[in-house]
Structure 1
Amino acid sequence: MNFFSALFGTTDNTKLKEAIAEGAFLVDVRSAGEFASGSAKGAVNIPLDRINSQLAKFKGKKNIVVFCRSGNRSAQAKSILEQNGFQNVVNGGTWNNVSECLDK
Protein backbone atom coordinates (compact mmCIF):
# COMPACT_ATOMS: atom_id res chain seq x y z
CA MET A 1 0.00 0.00 0.00
CA ASN A 2 1.50 3.33 -0.99
CA PHE A 3 1.25 6.61 0.89
CA PHE A 4 -1.73 7.96 -1.07
CA SER A 5 -3.78 4.78 -0.87
CA ALA A 6 -3.07 4.70 2.87
CA LEU A 7 -4.51 8.21 3.17
CA PHE A 8 -7.34 8.05 0.68
CA GLY A 9 -8.19 4.37 0.38
CA THR A 10 -7.48 1.99 -2.47
CA THR A 11 -7.65 3.49 -5.94
CA ASP A 12 -10.27 1.94 -8.21
CA ASN A 13 -8.30 0.81 -11.23
CA THR A 14 -11.27 -0.72 -13.07
CA LYS A 15 -11.20 1.71 -16.01
CA LEU A 16 -7.43 1.52 -16.17
CA LYS A 17 -7.41 -2.27 -16.26
CA GLU A 18 -10.14 -2.32 -18.93
CA ALA A 19 -8.20 0.15 -21.10
CA ILE A 20 -5.01 -1.87 -20.73
CA ALA A 21 -6.83 -5.11 -21.56
CA GLU A 22 -8.06 -3.45 -24.76
CA GLY A 23 -4.52 -2.50 -25.80
CA ALA A 24 -4.41 1.11 -24.64
CA PHE A 25 -1.81 3.58 -25.90
CA LEU A 26 0.37 4.01 -22.79
CA VAL A 27 1.92 7.45 -22.46
CA ASP A 28 4.42 8.43 -19.77
CA VAL A 29 4.24 12.23 -19.52
CA ARG A 30 7.36 12.62 -17.34
CA SER A 31 10.60 14.12 -18.64
CA ALA A 32 12.89 12.08 -20.90
CA GLY A 33 15.33 11.65 -18.01
CA GLU A 34 12.64 10.33 -15.68
CA PHE A 35 11.36 8.00 -18.41
CA ALA A 36 14.89 6.65 -18.98
CA SER A 37 15.10 5.65 -15.32
CA GLY A 38 12.13 3.28 -15.72
CA SER A 39 8.56 3.18 -16.93
CA ALA A 40 5.65 0.85 -17.62
CA LYS A 41 6.33 -1.85 -20.20
CA GLY A 42 5.32 -0.75 -23.71
CA ALA A 43 4.91 2.92 -22.82
CA VAL A 44 6.01 5.81 -25.00
CA ASN A 45 7.39 9.05 -23.60
CA ILE A 46 5.62 12.27 -24.51
CA PRO A 47 6.51 14.84 -21.82
CA LEU A 48 3.66 17.00 -20.56
CA ASP A 49 5.11 20.15 -22.12
CA ARG A 50 5.03 18.47 -25.55
CA ILE A 51 1.49 17.06 -25.52
CA ASN A 52 0.03 19.94 -27.55
CA SER A 53 2.67 19.60 -30.27
CA GLN A 54 2.29 15.80 -30.42
CA LEU A 55 -1.51 15.49 -30.70
CA ALA A 56 -1.22 13.58 -34.00
CA LYS A 57 0.30 10.64 -32.10
CA PHE A 58 -2.95 10.25 -30.14
CA LYS A 59 -5.33 10.24 -33.12
CA GLY A 60 -7.07 6.96 -33.87
CA LYS A 61 -6.22 5.39 -30.53
CA LYS A 62 -9.16 3.49 -28.99
CA ASN A 63 -7.94 4.06 -25.43
CA ILE A 64 -5.22 6.32 -24.05
CA VAL A 65 -3.63 5.95 -20.62
CA VAL A 66 -1.47 8.81 -19.36
CA PHE A 67 0.68 8.54 -16.25
CA CYS A 68 3.62 10.14 -14.45
CA ARG A 69 5.35 10.05 -11.04
CA SER A 70 2.51 11.21 -8.78
CA GLY A 71 -0.57 11.55 -10.98
CA ASN A 72 -0.44 15.36 -11.15
CA ARG A 73 1.13 15.78 -14.61
CA SER A 74 -1.01 12.95 -15.99
CA ALA A 75 -4.13 14.76 -14.74
CA GLN A 76 -2.95 17.84 -16.65
CA ALA A 77 -2.23 15.74 -19.75
CA LYS A 78 -5.70 14.18 -19.58
CA SER A 79 -7.23 17.66 -19.40
CA ILE A 80 -5.20 18.89 -22.40
CA LEU A 81 -6.18 15.86 -24.46
CA GLU A 82 -9.87 16.23 -23.54
CA GLN A 83 -9.75 19.93 -24.48
CA ASN A 84 -8.50 18.78 -27.88
CA GLY A 85 -11.39 16.37 -28.42
CA PHE A 86 -10.04 13.10 -27.02
CA GLN A 87 -12.69 11.43 -24.86
CA ASN A 88 -11.02 8.06 -24.37
CA VAL A 89 -8.34 9.15 -21.88
CA VAL A 90 -7.66 7.48 -18.53
CA ASN A 91 -5.39 9.01 -15.91
CA GLY A 92 -3.39 5.99 -14.79
CA GLY A 93 -1.80 7.93 -11.95
CA THR A 94 1.72 6.77 -11.22
CA TRP A 95 3.85 4.71 -13.56
CA ASN A 96 4.15 2.11 -10.80
CA ASN A 97 0.36 1.85 -10.65
CA VAL A 98 0.18 1.30 -14.41
CA SER A 99 2.98 -1.28 -14.22
CA GLU A 100 1.13 -3.18 -11.50
CA CYS A 101 -2.04 -3.23 -13.61
CA LEU A 102 -0.06 -4.55 -16.58
CA ASP A 103 1.19 -7.43 -14.46
CA LYS A 104 -2.30 -8.58 -13.44
Structure 2
Amino acid sequence: MFGPQVPTVTTPEVGASAYLLDVREPDEWAAGHAPGAHHLPMMEVPARIAEIPEDGDVVVVCRSGGRSAQVTAYLMQHGWDNVRNLAGGMGAWQDAGRELVSEDGQPARVL
Protein backbone atom coordinates (compact mmCIF):
# COMPACT_ATOMS: atom_id res chain seq x y z
CA MET A 1 0.00 0.00 0.00
CA PHE A 2 1.34 3.42 -0.94
CA GLY A 3 1.06 6.48 1.28
CA PRO A 4 -0.32 9.80 0.20
CA GLN A 5 1.31 11.60 -2.70
CA VAL A 6 3.99 13.88 -1.29
CA PRO A 7 3.17 17.50 -2.17
CA THR A 8 6.03 19.35 -3.80
CA VAL A 9 6.95 22.96 -4.44
CA THR A 10 9.47 24.35 -6.91
CA THR A 11 12.21 26.79 -5.92
CA PRO A 12 10.49 29.86 -7.47
CA GLU A 13 7.35 29.01 -5.45
CA VAL A 14 9.16 29.15 -2.09
CA GLY A 15 8.11 32.39 -0.44
CA ALA A 16 10.18 34.50 1.91
CA SER A 17 7.95 33.53 4.84
CA ALA A 18 8.36 29.75 4.35
CA TYR A 19 10.03 27.74 7.11
CA LEU A 20 12.79 25.98 5.19
CA LEU A 21 13.64 22.69 6.92
CA ASP A 22 17.02 21.37 5.74
CA VAL A 23 17.32 17.65 6.56
CA ARG A 24 20.83 17.08 5.16
CA GLU A 25 23.84 15.92 7.14
CA PRO A 26 25.97 18.44 9.09
CA ASP A 27 28.79 18.49 6.49
CA GLU A 28 26.29 19.22 3.69
CA TRP A 29 24.69 22.00 5.77
CA ALA A 30 28.09 23.57 6.57
CA ALA A 31 29.09 23.60 2.88
CA GLY A 32 26.05 25.57 1.78
CA HIS A 33 22.45 26.19 2.76
CA ALA A 34 19.71 28.73 2.22
CA PRO A 35 19.92 31.79 4.47
CA GLY A 36 17.40 31.52 7.29
CA ALA A 37 16.93 27.76 6.84
CA HIS A 38 16.56 25.50 9.87
CA HIS A 39 18.91 22.51 10.10
CA LEU A 40 17.44 19.24 11.38
CA PRO A 41 19.23 16.14 10.06
CA MET A 42 16.82 13.50 8.75
CA MET A 43 17.72 10.92 11.40
CA GLU A 44 16.96 13.42 14.20
CA VAL A 45 13.47 14.31 12.94
CA PRO A 46 11.58 11.70 15.04
CA ALA A 47 13.25 12.87 18.28
CA ARG A 48 12.93 16.58 17.46
CA ILE A 49 9.59 16.59 15.64
CA ALA A 50 8.13 19.12 18.12
CA GLU A 51 10.55 21.75 16.72
CA ILE A 52 8.76 21.71 13.35
CA PRO A 53 5.96 24.28 13.02
CA GLU A 54 2.45 22.94 12.49
CA ASP A 55 1.26 26.14 10.85
CA GLY A 56 2.57 28.30 8.03
CA ASP A 57 4.41 26.93 5.01
CA VAL A 58 7.07 24.34 5.84
CA VAL A 59 9.31 23.38 2.90
CA VAL A 60 11.55 20.34 3.44
CA VAL A 61 14.82 20.25 1.50
CA CYS A 62 17.80 17.91 1.00
CA ARG A 63 20.39 17.67 -1.77
CA SER A 64 18.16 16.34 -4.55
CA GLY A 65 14.69 15.76 -3.07
CA GLY A 66 14.78 12.09 -2.01
CA ARG A 67 15.42 12.36 1.73
CA SER A 68 13.20 15.41 2.03
CA ALA A 69 10.33 13.51 0.34
CA GLN A 70 10.68 10.80 3.00
CA VAL A 71 10.64 13.40 5.79
CA THR A 72 7.64 15.17 4.21
CA ALA A 73 5.73 11.86 4.10
CA TYR A 74 6.73 11.09 7.70
CA LEU A 75 5.48 14.47 8.92
CA MET A 76 2.20 14.05 7.00
CA GLN A 77 1.70 10.65 8.66
CA HIS A 78 2.12 12.40 12.02
CA GLY A 79 -0.49 15.08 11.37
CA TRP A 80 1.39 17.87 9.62
CA ASP A 81 -0.67 19.18 6.70
CA ASN A 82 1.50 22.24 5.96
CA VAL A 83 4.62 20.48 4.63
CA ARG A 84 5.88 20.30 1.06
CA ASN A 85 8.99 18.80 -0.48
CA LEU A 86 11.33 21.08 -2.45
CA ALA A 87 11.50 19.54 -5.94
CA GLY A 88 15.12 19.05 -6.97
CA GLY A 89 16.44 19.97 -3.54
CA MET A 90 19.38 22.29 -2.97
CA GLY A 91 20.65 21.53 -6.47
CA ALA A 92 17.54 23.15 -7.93
CA TRP A 93 17.81 25.98 -5.38
CA GLN A 94 21.35 26.73 -6.53
CA ASP A 95 20.46 26.35 -10.22
CA ALA A 96 17.65 28.89 -9.75
CA GLY A 97 20.19 31.42 -8.51
CA ARG A 98 18.84 31.51 -4.97
CA GLU A 99 21.26 32.57 -2.25
CA LEU A 100 23.51 30.12 -0.41
CA VAL A 101 25.57 30.69 2.72
CA SER A 102 28.29 28.45 4.17
CA GLU A 103 29.42 27.73 7.72
CA ASP A 104 32.89 26.37 6.94
CA GLY A 105 34.71 29.44 5.63
CA GLN A 106 34.62 28.15 2.04
CA PRO A 107 32.49 29.57 -0.77
CA ALA A 108 28.95 28.26 -0.40
CA ARG A 109 28.30 25.12 -2.45
CA VAL A 110 25.97 22.12 -2.54
CA LEU A 111 27.62 18.82 -1.61
Equivalent residue runs for 1:1-104 within 5 Å? 13=10, 17=13, 20-21=14-15, 23-93=17-87, 94-98=89-93, 100=96
* Sequence identity (%): 34
Q: 1:22 to 1:43 in 2, by over 3 A?
A: closer
Runs ≥4 residues deviating over 2 A: 11-14, 96-103
Q: CA deviation at 1:101?
A: 7.6
Structure with the higher fraction of residues in helix conformation: 1
Unaligned segments of structure 1, at least 5 residues = 1-10
TM superposition score normalised by structure 1: 0.73
CA change 1:12–1:75 in 2 (3 A) is closer
Q: Give 3-state SS (helix, strand or coil) of 2:21's partner.
A: strand
Cα distance change of structure 1 residues 101 and 25 upon mapping to structure 2, 3 Å threshold: farther
The number of aligned residues is 90
Q: Distance in 1 between matches of 2:68 and 2:29?
A: 14
Q: TM-score, normalised by structure 2?
A: 0.69
User: What's the offset of the Cα at 1:66?
Assistant: 0.4
How large is the RMSD of aligned CA atoms in angstroms? 2.4
